[in-house]
Amino acid sequence: MNSVRGDLGAWRMPPGTLVLAGTPLGNREDSSDRLRRALADADVIAAEDTRRTKRLAADLGVTLTARVVSYYDHREAERASELVEALRAGSSVLVVSDAGMPTVSDPGYRVVDAAVDAGLPVTCLPGPSAVTVALALSGLPSDRFCFEGFVPRKPGERARMLAQLVAEPRTVIAFEAPHRIAATLEACVEVLGGERRAAVCRELTKTYEEVKRGTLAELAEWAADGVRGEITLVIAGAQPRRELDAEELRALVAKEVDAGSSKKDAVALVAAATGTPKRAVFDAFHAR
């Protein structure tokens, strides 16, 4: 088991150690003293965007002496082996993303995995994360939650993801692009129901920070005219449901068929929306 220990009051980048560091979501004043020290002390900095990291250092009054290398999604596998070699040689390696915590829907996982496999020490400088900030601001239950990453871009994949969340009792958090949030909220209304409570958090910690709270139907209407900025979506978990009888299930399937769905699709939609097994919905619809 690898561990990193030391006096936090005089903390410095440990040699031969991989360090993950959370960076500000927007407001530079959220930077910790340890982040400043890590930027100044690191031998190698692996940055999602080297320009943004250099700008952050300049804003914090830190002079970089490290070798700064790019570390983004398409270069993760290639860079991971290079960074592990640097660790083996005794260099301290700092991993930072553009904003928030590395590995949380941002690059970082592969190099952590490689370092652990190599028996090298890994530690983390706690810092901002849009996931927990949005959860705290949402006004929704925060004792249990799950994070879904970015909502799939393709409508079919998005619908399948939402169908898996119909009966999820935990608060759900996901990232979404501003130009897709309206379509995603409409899909949420269709699959999860318009009355489900939710919050759209945009531009967290920045000048135009905004949190819109309401039902999914209300938020879909609000987003229809367009939304700007970095988006984190928070959706309330499902409430316990009573078991529907055959007549109620049959009526729901008939409603979907009348709306234009095929019988097969209607059965699937009702099953997903009610948490009832497909076979039970099918049998209820065809019972006479």
In the prediction, which pLDDT does 288 show?
Answer: 60
3-state secondary structure 17-39: CEEEECECCCCHHHCCHHHHHHH
- Which of 128, 154, 171 finishes a domain? 128
- Which of 128, 161, 187 finishes a domain? 128
C-alpha closest to that of 222 among 191, 260, 186? 186
* pTM, 2 dp: 0.79
In the prediction, which pLDDT does 6 show?
Answer: 43
Instruction: Output phi, psi for 247, to 5 deg.
Output: -65, -40
Whether 282 and 231 map to the same domain: the answer is no
Whether 172 and 274 map to the same domain: the answer is no
In the prediction, which pLDDT does 260 show?
Answer: 87
Read off the tokens for 208: 């135009």
Whether 223 and 262 map to the same domain: the answer is no
Profile the chain (288 residues) by mean pLDDT over runs of 10 residues.
49 93 96 96 96 96 96 84 96 96 92 96 95 98 96 94 92 97 97 95 96 98 95 93 83 88 89 83 84
Whether 73 and 163 map to the same domain: the answer is no
41 domain residue, yes or no: yes
Angle value at C-alpha 238, between 237 and 241, nearest 5 degrees: 160
Domain total in the chain: 3
- Which of 94, 128, 162 finishes a domain? 128
240 domain residue, yes or no: no
In the prediction, which pLDDT does 7 show?
Answer: 45
| CATH number of 223's domain | 3.30.950.10
Whether 15 and 112 map to the same domain: the answer is yes
Residue span of the structural domain in which 172 resides: 131-235
**Mean pLDDT score of the chain:** 92
Whether 109 and 16 map to the same domain: the answer is yes
Whether 68 and 156 map to the same domain: the answer is no
Whether 198 and 90 map to the same domain: the answer is no
Cα gap 1→136, rounded to integer Å:
34
2 domain residue, yes or no: no
| CATH number of 93's domain | 3.40.1010.10
H or E segment at 201?
strand 197-202
In the prediction, which pLDDT does 256 show?
Answer: 87
